[in-house]
Amino acid sequence: MEQNFKNHSRIVKPYHVLLFLLLIAGLIGSVINLTMSYNTDHVYSASLVLLLFLICLLMTWYIRAFPLKAQDRAIRAEESLRHYIMTGKALPQSLRMEQIIALRFASDAEFVKLTERSLHENLSGGEIKMAIENWKPDYDRV
């Protein structure tokens, strides 16, 4: 399938949907369990279950956030090199990461022009992606 603006984002349903729903259900259940066991001998174990679900939520967030930061660094390096090869100049420091990530989808023919336009018009990532006429797919980012 050819990648374009409408289909370039990926949702991994078992991770993005199912895991999130299961964690929220478990968190709600553990809160209910803790409140129901408040004046019993099971408060300690109910507290631990709630703590475990909170830890799982944090881990799920950071398991996704840390690799994305590494991918962002790689994209910045790739697009900086691409810009340097095409213009002989460094990629402008004033570009936001959101803009650089969006510019990676621009073909070489429109990359420099779209970079300048992004700077002057302060385009968002979505606006940059919608302005791309010849989409350069990126099948590696998850």
Task: Quote the pLDDT of residue 138.
Answer: 79
Segments of the chain with pLDDT less than 70: 1, 7, 141-142
Residues 6 or more apart in contact with residue 139 via CB below 8 angstroms: 3
d(CA 1, CA 129): 18
d(CA 102, CA 8): 11
One-letter amino acid of 48: L
d(CA 18, CA 24): 10
In this prediction the pTM is 0.77
